[in-house]
Chains A and B, each alone.
Chain A
Amino acid sequence: MQSQEPKPASEVQFLEAYDKHSDALFRYCYHRVFDREKAKDCVQEAFARTWRYLVDGNTIENIRAFLYRTANNIIIDASRKHKPSSLDTIMEKGFSPSIDPRGKTQDYLAGKELISIVRTLDEKYRDVIILKYIEDLSTKEISFILNETENNIYVRISRGLKKIKKILANQETQFNKNKKEHKKHE
């Protein structure tokens, strides 16, 4: 991959990388594990492993992508070990994909509800959507992080968007239905 920033050969540069990327990495982990404390643990582990990788004599051309990849591997390992969160658990934590029947027409299209929809997608679509549209990474970086070809990434993004479109359409139908029923009772 093209080198985008100085290689963190020294402690100072590595800590600069921490200052620069820890927020974004935390956000990525948070949107994957739905838990603030777990996300922080993930970030710490990713940085620690990255430092160890450097201390072992390796070089990193793109530390941002490397950190995301490391975090991604940590999360995958953990999810294999622990039971994945069910939608119920996710909803308990406040990530509810349901629509407020009191009807904030525009709100359901933006913000939290849309994030909740993305999180209900299959992992292979969810990860690329989060990396592309929340983390603002390039397709090349995403392919490195997820260890996939760029072509696969393009396909997944496209399919992920199609699925989101379908979910939104279904929700709009349900929302209009709820709205009618709500009016009946008024």
Chain B
Amino acid sequence: MNSSTEEEVKNMGSRARRETLLADEKKAMKMQLLEFIKKHPAGIAPKKDKRVFVPLFFARRPLMRNVSYALAGFAVIVVMGGGVAAAANRAMPGDALYPVKLNVNEQVLSWMAASNESKARLHIALAKRRLEEIEKAAPSQSFNEEAASQAKVSFNRHVGAAEASIKAIGKERGSEISAELNAGFESVLRAHVKIMGNVIEKEKKRDEKKAEAVKDFQKNVADRIDSVARSRDEYQEKIFAYNSSNMQSYATQKRAEAQQRLKETAEFVIAKKENLSQDAHQSALGNIAVASNLIAQGQERMDAQEYRAAVRLFQKAINVSQEIQIGVLANEKLNINLESKELNELIERGEGLEINLKKLFK
């Protein structure tokens, strides 16, 4: 009766299975789970509390009393009673409750982050959230210079806090995590500077003042990139020094990481294909080729025993993969297509951009 329909549904099922968590998301969520487990160790049954992890969207009732540990990254805890805090969490730049979101709800989140790594991830996520809010809110009526200024102050605060936490991690646990966090953060900032560029161009046609407000924010973000990139370089140098006797092994590890990220990114782009414009999809595929190219160049350096250069190329490939994912989400949500300098350069040089996605999944 249903055999052909069932076949179609099975095919749909296999395509839908490509929707997954991004690597960074999975890592951040695992960090939160680890902290939760530490606060509720096995063998010691807690006394009375019934709920200890109550993200906003699944809260049964106003939430203050049952929250017992921090959420880093993407989840939000509502900490005041009633609908006010819930409404504040949904506020965007220009809304009346936006200051409550920035100065109350998120402030409590930062108090509750236990480890320096949680703090760093939380502040990076909140800084990223400011960027996304500005990009999304810019076309709305309520968005204005004051709203942009509030978001900018909050963004700078979170960047500063993230940098401080990353520095603390570097002292207590060595440079690898610090370098990783800085590199990821740098990719986020670079991608969003491009996204804002698109938003500015769109807004210029509608409202010059709004465009100027976003441009001012964009400049602020661009200024931050340099200091994050410098920190990343410093930590990377420390890692090189630490691994000096075993650089080949370190480079091999980095190559594996770059390949895995690229594979995840390719799967992500395939999963999102139907939601993207043709240009955005082509652009994402082109950038996958760029990342693949970087990995190939890194391999050449490894073959020549130039391990530091190889590691830098693999890291750049990881950054490009992350930017692709951000770009895909930006096109999906904001109908924006990111230009890539590296992709344009490749095209100008006439280099082939054929990528065999099947090779990536080998």
Contacts and interface: CB of A to CB of B under 8 A. Distances in A.
A38 interface: yes
Interface string B68-81: 00010011000000
A48 B33 contact: yes
Find the residue from B20, B44, B46 having the highest chain A CB count within 10 A. Answer: B20
A129 B270 CA distance: 22
A47 interface: yes
A-B complex: 4 closest residue pairs judged by Cβ atoms: A133-B13, A41-B55, A112-B274, A48-B53
Interface stretch (B4-12, B141-149, B252-260): B4-12
Given A40-B75, A165-B5, A54 B12 contact: no
B58 A42 contact: yes
Nearest to B37: A11
Interface in A1-58: 9-11, 14-15, 18-19, 22-23, 26-27, 30-31, 33, 37-38, 40-45, 47-49, 51-52, 54-57
A168 B32 CA distance: 43
Interface string A58-77: 00000000000000001101
Contacts of B209: none
B96 interface: no
A27 B55 contact: no
B15 A111 contact: yes
A31 B16 contact: yes
A22 B21 contact: yes
Interface residues of A, number: 57
A40 to B, nearest CB: 6
A129 B13 CA distance: 9
B20 A78 contact: no
A31 B12 CA distance: 12
A161 interface: yes
Nearest to A165: B5
Find the residue from A44, A52, A82 having the highest chain B CB count within 10 A. Answer: A44
Given A40-B29, A110-B15, A168 B8 contact: yes
Contacts of A158: 1-2
B26 interface: yes
Nearest to B38: A11
A170 to B, nearest CB: 13
Interface in A89-139: 94, 109-115, 118, 129, 132-134, 136
A130 to B, nearest CB: 8
A81 interface: yes
A14 B334 CA distance: 38
A111 B2 contact: no
A162 interface: yes
Given A111-B15, A114-B11, 9 more contacts: A23-B26, A37-B74, A38-B58, A51-B33, A52-B46, A75-B58, A114-B9, A162-B5, A168-B8
Interface in B1-58: 1-2, 5-6, 8-13, 15-17, 19-21, 25-26, 29-30, 32-34, 36-37, 40-46, 52-58
B9 A47 contact: no
B332 interface: yes
B30 A55 contact: no
Nearest to A54: B42
A10 B42 CA distance: 7
Contacts of A114: 8-9, 11-12
B297 interface: no
B150 interface: no
Contacts of A51: 33, 36-37, 40
A164 B26 CA distance: 33
A55 B42 contact: yes
Contacts of A168: 5, 8
A126 B17 CA distance: 16
A57 B44 CA distance: 9
A158 to B, nearest CB: 7
A15 to B, nearest CB: 7
A134 B37 contact: no
Given A40-B75, A45-B53, A57-B45, A134 B58 contact: no
Contact of B30 (A10, A18, A129): A18
Contacts of A54: 42
B29 A22 contact: yes
